[in-house]
Protein backbone atom coordinates (compact mmCIF):
# COMPACT_ATOMS: atom_id res chain seq x y z
CA UNK A 1 0.00 0.00 0.00
CA UNK A 2 1.27 3.46 -0.88
CA UNK A 3 1.92 5.70 2.15
CA UNK A 4 -0.22 8.86 2.18
CA UNK A 5 0.59 12.03 4.06
CA UNK A 6 -2.23 13.11 6.39
CA UNK A 7 -4.01 16.23 5.13
CA UNK A 8 -2.99 19.57 6.71
CA UNK A 9 -0.99 17.76 9.37
CA UNK A 10 0.96 20.80 10.59
CA UNK A 11 -2.04 23.00 11.48
CA UNK A 12 -3.90 19.98 12.94
CA UNK A 13 -1.01 19.44 15.36
CA UNK A 14 -0.60 23.16 16.08
CA UNK A 15 -4.26 23.57 17.10
CA UNK A 16 -4.57 20.34 19.09
CA UNK A 17 -1.55 21.06 21.34
CA UNK A 18 -0.83 17.37 21.89
CA UNK A 19 2.66 18.06 23.25
CA UNK A 20 1.05 18.94 26.59
CA UNK A 21 -0.34 15.39 26.89
CA UNK A 22 -3.98 14.51 27.55
CA UNK A 23 -6.76 12.53 25.90
CA UNK A 24 -7.54 13.01 22.20
CA UNK A 25 -10.28 11.65 19.96
CA UNK A 26 -9.76 11.04 16.24
CA UNK A 27 -13.32 10.70 14.90
CA UNK A 28 -12.14 9.58 11.45
CA UNK A 29 -9.08 7.42 12.07
CA UNK A 30 -8.89 6.02 8.53
CA UNK A 31 -5.55 4.28 8.20
CA UNK A 32 -4.23 6.26 11.16
CA UNK A 33 -2.08 9.02 9.66
CA UNK A 34 -3.28 11.81 11.96
CA UNK A 35 -3.68 9.41 14.90
CA UNK A 36 -0.07 8.30 14.58
CA UNK A 37 1.13 11.91 14.70
CA UNK A 38 -1.09 12.63 17.72
CA UNK A 39 0.38 9.67 19.63
CA UNK A 40 3.94 10.48 18.61
CA UNK A 41 3.35 14.14 19.49
CA UNK A 42 2.77 13.33 23.15
CA UNK A 43 -0.90 12.38 23.71
CA UNK A 44 -1.44 10.17 26.78
CA UNK A 45 -4.38 8.39 25.16
CA UNK A 46 -5.86 8.37 21.65
CA UNK A 47 -9.42 7.15 21.06
CA UNK A 48 -9.91 6.49 17.35
CA UNK A 49 -13.27 6.02 15.61
CA UNK A 50 -14.06 4.72 12.14
CA UNK A 51 -17.06 3.04 10.51
CA UNK A 52 -14.85 1.01 8.20
CA UNK A 53 -13.26 -1.98 9.91
CA UNK A 54 -10.70 -2.44 7.13
CA UNK A 55 -9.33 1.05 7.77
CA UNK A 56 -9.07 0.32 11.48
CA UNK A 57 -7.12 -2.90 10.89
CA UNK A 58 -4.48 -0.94 8.95
CA UNK A 59 -4.52 1.86 11.55
CA UNK A 60 -4.01 -0.61 14.39
CA UNK A 61 -0.86 -2.01 12.79
CA UNK A 62 0.51 1.49 12.35
CA UNK A 63 -0.40 2.72 15.85
CA UNK A 64 1.09 -0.31 17.61
CA UNK A 65 4.49 0.87 16.33
CA UNK A 66 4.17 4.20 18.15
CA UNK A 67 4.28 2.56 21.57
CA UNK A 68 1.53 4.98 22.64
CA UNK A 69 -1.77 4.11 24.30
CA UNK A 70 -4.81 3.92 22.04
CA UNK A 71 -8.29 2.45 21.76
CA UNK A 72 -9.95 1.91 18.38
CA UNK A 73 -13.74 1.93 18.15
CA UNK A 74 -15.73 0.75 15.14
CA UNK A 75 -18.54 3.23 15.45
CA UNK A 76 -20.13 6.23 13.86
CA UNK A 77 -18.57 9.39 15.31
CA UNK A 78 -22.08 10.85 15.43
CA UNK A 79 -22.31 8.86 18.69
CA UNK A 80 -18.95 10.04 20.05
CA UNK A 81 -20.49 11.39 23.27
CA UNK A 82 -22.34 8.10 23.91
CA UNK A 83 -19.09 6.14 23.73
CA UNK A 84 -16.54 8.51 25.27
CA UNK A 85 -17.45 9.16 28.88
CA UNK A 86 -14.39 11.13 29.95
CA UNK A 87 -13.57 14.77 29.29
CA UNK A 88 -11.06 15.12 26.50
CA UNK A 89 -8.49 17.72 25.43
CA UNK A 90 -8.97 17.60 21.69
CA UNK A 91 -11.14 16.14 18.91
CA UNK A 92 -10.33 15.80 15.21
CA UNK A 93 -12.79 15.24 12.36
CA UNK A 94 -11.26 14.71 8.89
CA UNK A 95 -14.54 14.24 7.04
CA UNK A 96 -15.44 12.11 4.07
CA UNK A 97 -13.67 9.34 2.22
CA UNK A 98 -10.02 8.30 2.49
CA UNK A 99 -7.54 7.97 -0.34
CA UNK A 100 -7.35 4.23 0.36
CA UNK A 101 -11.12 3.86 0.04
CA UNK A 102 -11.05 5.80 -3.24
CA UNK A 103 -8.46 3.37 -4.57
CA UNK A 104 -10.62 0.32 -3.88
CA UNK A 105 -13.42 -0.99 -6.10
CA UNK A 106 -16.16 -0.11 -3.60
CA UNK A 107 -18.01 2.40 -5.72
CA UNK A 108 -16.42 5.56 -4.28
CA UNK A 109 -14.53 6.29 -7.49
CA UNK A 110 -15.83 6.13 -11.05
CA UNK A 111 -12.28 5.33 -12.13
CA UNK A 112 -12.10 2.05 -10.24
CA UNK A 113 -15.22 0.26 -11.46
CA UNK A 114 -16.92 -2.56 -9.56
CA UNK A 115 -19.87 -2.61 -7.17
CA UNK A 116 -21.75 0.62 -6.66
CA UNK A 117 -21.75 0.25 -2.89
CA UNK A 118 -20.24 3.42 -1.30
CA UNK A 119 -21.03 2.50 2.31
CA UNK A 120 -18.26 3.20 4.83
CA UNK A 121 -19.77 0.47 6.98
CA UNK A 122 -20.50 -2.48 4.70
CA UNK A 123 -22.41 -4.37 7.39
CA UNK A 124 -25.50 -2.20 7.34
CA UNK A 125 -27.51 0.33 5.35
CA UNK A 126 -28.45 0.79 1.72
CA UNK A 127 -25.87 0.59 -1.07
CA UNK A 128 -25.73 3.45 -3.60
CA UNK A 129 -27.03 1.10 -6.32
CA UNK A 130 -30.03 0.15 -4.17
CA UNK A 131 -30.79 3.79 -3.48
CA UNK A 132 -30.64 4.72 -7.18
CA UNK A 133 -32.98 1.93 -8.23
CA UNK A 134 -35.46 2.51 -5.38
CA UNK A 135 -35.72 6.30 -5.53
CA UNK A 136 -37.65 8.57 -7.92
CA UNK A 137 -36.38 11.33 -10.21
CA UNK A 138 -37.38 14.08 -7.74
CA UNK A 139 -35.49 12.65 -4.77
CA UNK A 140 -32.44 11.77 -6.87
CA UNK A 141 -32.39 15.31 -8.29
CA UNK A 142 -32.53 16.78 -4.77
CA UNK A 143 -29.55 14.64 -3.76
CA UNK A 144 -27.55 15.74 -6.83
CA UNK A 145 -28.42 19.38 -6.22
CA UNK A 146 -27.81 19.50 -2.47
CA UNK A 147 -24.77 17.25 -2.13
CA UNK A 148 -23.11 17.60 -5.55
CA UNK A 149 -23.84 21.23 -6.48
CA UNK A 150 -24.79 19.98 -9.96
CA UNK A 151 -26.29 22.55 -12.29
CA UNK A 152 -28.99 20.51 -14.06
CA UNK A 153 -29.92 17.92 -11.45
CA UNK A 154 -33.35 17.03 -12.90
CA UNK A 155 -31.98 16.28 -16.35
CA UNK A 156 -29.22 14.11 -14.93
CA UNK A 157 -31.59 12.31 -12.55
CA UNK A 158 -33.98 11.58 -15.42
CA UNK A 159 -31.18 10.12 -17.54
CA UNK A 160 -30.04 7.90 -14.70
CA UNK A 161 -33.56 6.70 -13.91
CA UNK A 162 -34.23 5.72 -17.55
CA UNK A 163 -31.94 2.75 -16.95
CA UNK A 164 -31.53 -0.03 -14.44
CA UNK A 165 -28.09 0.49 -12.94
CA UNK A 166 -26.10 -2.50 -11.71
CA UNK A 167 -22.56 -1.25 -11.22
CA UNK A 168 -20.07 1.62 -11.44
CA UNK A 169 -19.41 1.05 -15.15
CA UNK A 170 -23.09 1.34 -16.07
CA UNK A 171 -23.61 4.57 -14.11
CA UNK A 172 -20.37 6.05 -15.47
CA UNK A 173 -21.39 5.09 -19.03
CA UNK A 174 -24.72 6.95 -18.72
CA UNK A 175 -23.01 9.98 -17.19
CA UNK A 176 -20.37 10.08 -19.92
CA UNK A 177 -23.18 10.34 -22.46
CA UNK A 178 -24.90 13.04 -20.35
CA UNK A 179 -22.06 15.52 -19.80
CA UNK A 180 -20.00 17.46 -22.31
CA UNK A 181 -16.69 15.72 -22.86
CA UNK A 182 -14.39 18.41 -21.53
CA UNK A 183 -16.36 18.66 -18.27
CA UNK A 184 -17.25 15.00 -17.88
CA UNK A 185 -14.72 13.89 -15.25
CA UNK A 186 -15.43 16.77 -12.89
CA UNK A 187 -19.21 16.39 -13.21
CA UNK A 188 -19.15 12.60 -12.83
CA UNK A 189 -17.05 13.02 -9.66
CA UNK A 190 -19.73 15.38 -8.31
CA UNK A 191 -22.47 12.80 -8.95
CA UNK A 192 -20.43 10.16 -7.11
CA UNK A 193 -19.78 12.56 -4.22
CA UNK A 194 -23.50 13.37 -3.91
CA UNK A 195 -24.47 9.68 -3.80
CA UNK A 196 -21.78 8.92 -1.20
CA UNK A 197 -22.96 11.75 1.06
CA UNK A 198 -26.55 10.51 0.77
CA UNK A 199 -25.78 6.83 1.37
CA UNK A 200 -23.68 7.56 4.47
CA UNK A 201 -25.83 10.45 5.80
CA UNK A 202 -22.63 12.41 6.02
CA UNK A 203 -24.03 15.85 6.80
CA UNK A 204 -26.25 14.54 9.59
CA UNK A 205 -23.27 12.69 11.09
CA UNK A 206 -21.09 15.77 10.84
CA UNK A 207 -23.62 17.89 12.69
CA UNK A 208 -24.03 15.27 15.44
CA UNK A 209 -20.25 14.79 15.61
CA UNK A 210 -19.64 18.50 16.22
CA UNK A 211 -22.35 18.49 18.92
CA UNK A 212 -20.88 15.37 20.51
CA UNK A 213 -17.38 16.86 20.43
CA UNK A 214 -18.61 19.90 22.34
CA UNK A 215 -20.14 17.68 25.03
CA UNK A 216 -16.99 15.64 25.65
CA UNK A 217 -14.43 18.45 25.44
CA UNK A 218 -12.98 20.08 28.54
CA UNK A 219 -13.34 23.84 28.80
CA UNK A 220 -10.51 25.21 26.67
CA UNK A 221 -10.40 21.95 24.66
CA UNK A 222 -10.02 22.12 20.88
CA UNK A 223 -12.01 20.76 17.94
CA UNK A 224 -10.31 20.65 14.53
CA UNK A 225 -12.44 19.88 11.46
CA UNK A 226 -11.27 19.30 7.89
CA UNK A 227 -14.02 19.53 5.26
CA UNK A 228 -13.91 18.92 1.51
CA UNK A 229 -16.94 20.73 0.10
CA UNK A 230 -19.24 23.66 0.78
CA UNK A 231 -22.14 21.59 2.20
CA UNK A 232 -19.89 20.14 4.91
CA UNK A 233 -18.44 23.53 5.71
CA UNK A 234 -21.88 25.10 6.17
CA UNK A 235 -22.93 22.34 8.57
CA UNK A 236 -19.75 22.67 10.64
CA UNK A 237 -19.96 26.46 10.91
CA UNK A 238 -23.65 26.46 11.84
CA UNK A 239 -23.45 23.63 14.38
CA UNK A 240 -20.28 24.97 16.00
CA UNK A 241 -21.85 28.39 16.37
CA UNK A 242 -25.15 26.94 17.73
CA UNK A 243 -23.19 24.97 20.34
CA UNK A 244 -21.24 28.03 21.49
CA UNK A 245 -17.79 27.06 20.18
CA UNK A 246 -15.30 29.88 19.81
CA UNK A 247 -13.83 29.82 16.28
CA UNK A 248 -10.04 30.16 16.20
CA UNK A 249 -9.65 30.36 12.42
CA UNK A 250 -11.24 33.47 10.89
CA UNK A 251 -10.43 32.13 7.44
CA UNK A 252 -10.18 28.39 6.77
CA UNK A 253 -6.65 27.03 6.33
CA UNK A 254 -5.90 25.42 2.96
CA UNK A 255 -3.08 23.16 1.78
CA UNK A 256 -0.31 24.90 -0.11
CA UNK A 257 0.73 23.99 -3.65
CA UNK A 258 3.42 21.62 -2.39
CA UNK A 259 0.89 19.62 -0.38
CA UNK A 260 -1.70 19.23 -3.09
CA UNK A 261 0.88 18.26 -5.65
CA UNK A 262 1.83 15.37 -3.37
CA UNK A 263 -1.74 14.56 -2.41
CA UNK A 264 -4.34 15.65 -5.00
CA UNK A 265 -7.25 14.77 -2.68
CA UNK A 266 -6.14 17.57 -0.33
CA UNK A 267 -6.88 20.16 -3.02
CA UNK A 268 -10.35 21.04 -1.71
CA UNK A 269 -9.52 20.62 2.00
CA UNK A 270 -10.38 23.42 4.45
CA UNK A 271 -9.44 23.35 8.10
CA UNK A 272 -11.30 25.12 10.87
CA UNK A 273 -10.38 25.07 14.55
CA UNK A 274 -12.64 25.77 17.52
CA UNK A 275 -12.26 26.10 21.26
CA UNK A 276 -14.85 25.25 23.91
C1 LIG B 1 -10.57 11.41 5.15
S2 LIG B 1 -10.55 9.86 5.89
C3 LIG B 1 -9.54 10.07 7.29
C4 LIG B 1 -8.08 9.88 7.07
C5 LIG B 1 -7.27 9.97 8.34
N6 LIG B 1 -7.33 11.28 8.93
C7 LIG B 1 -5.82 9.55 8.13
O8 LIG B 1 -4.92 10.33 8.46
O9 LIG B 1 -5.59 8.44 7.65
C10 LIG B 1 -12.13 9.71 6.59
C11 LIG B 1 -12.43 8.43 7.32
O12 LIG B 1 -13.58 8.63 8.10
C13 LIG B 1 -14.40 7.49 8.07
N14 LIG B 1 -15.76 7.95 8.34
C15 LIG B 1 -16.57 8.66 7.52
N16 LIG B 1 -17.72 8.97 8.16
C17 LIG B 1 -17.63 8.43 9.40
C18 LIG B 1 -18.50 8.42 10.52
N19 LIG B 1 -19.69 9.01 10.49
N20 LIG B 1 -18.08 7.79 11.64
C21 LIG B 1 -16.85 7.19 11.69
N22 LIG B 1 -16.00 7.17 10.65
C23 LIG B 1 -16.38 7.79 9.52
C24 LIG B 1 -14.18 6.88 6.71
O25 LIG B 1 -14.41 5.48 6.74
C26 LIG B 1 -12.69 7.22 6.46
O27 LIG B 1 -11.87 6.16 6.87
Q: 25 alpha carbon to ligand 1 midpoint, in Å?
A: 12
Read off the pLDDT of residues 163-205 as tens digits, 9 standing for 90 and up: 999 999 999 999 999 999 888 999 999 999 999 999 999 999 9
90 lines ligand 1 (CB under 6 A): no
198 lines ligand 1 (CB under 6 A): no
Kindly report the pTM of this predicted structure: 0.97
From 197, 251, 249, 202, select the one nearest 27 (Cα to Cα): 202
Three-state SS across the chain?
CCCCCCCCHHHHHHHHCHHHCCEEEECCCCCCHHHHHHHHHCCCEEEEEECCHHHHHHHHHHHHCCCCCEEEEECCHHHHHHHCCCCEEEEEEECCCCHHHHHCCECCCCCCCEECCCCCCCCCCCCHHHHHHHCCHHHHHHHHHHHHCCCCHHHHHHHHHCCCCCEHHHHHHHHHHHCCHHHHHHHHHHHHHHHHHHHCCHHHHHHHHHHHHHHHEEEEEEEEEEECCHHHHHHHHHHHHHHCCEECCCCCECCCHHHHHHCHHHHHCEEEEEEC
232 lines ligand 1 (CB under 6 A): no
109 lines ligand 1 (CB under 6 A): no
Look up the CATH superfamily of 9-100+202-275: Vaccinia Virus protein VP39 (3.40.50.150)
**Atom of ligand 1 minimally distant from the CA of 49:** 21
Domains 9-100+202-275 and 121-199 share a fold: no
The CATH code belonging to domain 121-199 is 1.10.150.170
* Residue extents of the structural domains in the chain: 9-100+202-275, 121-199
**Of 30, 33, 82, best ligand 1 pocket probe by most atoms within 8 Å of the beta carbon:** 30
Read off the pLDDT of residues 12-60 as tens digits, 9 standing for 90 and up: 999 999 999 999 999 999 999 999 999 999 999 999 999 999 999 999 9
Q: 95 alpha carbon to ligand 1 midpoint, in Å?
A: 6
What integer pLDDT is reported at residue 2 of this predicted model? 54
Q: 234 alpha carbon to ligand 1 midpoint, in Å?
A: 19
Amino acid sequence: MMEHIPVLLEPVMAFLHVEEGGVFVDCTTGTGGHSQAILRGGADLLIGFDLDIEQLVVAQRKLLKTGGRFILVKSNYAFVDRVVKVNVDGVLIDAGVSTYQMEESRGFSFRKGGVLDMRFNRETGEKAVEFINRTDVEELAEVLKNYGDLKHPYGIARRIKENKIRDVEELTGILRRTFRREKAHKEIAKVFQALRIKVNRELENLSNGVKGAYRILKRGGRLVVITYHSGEERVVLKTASDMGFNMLTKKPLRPDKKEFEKNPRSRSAKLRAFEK
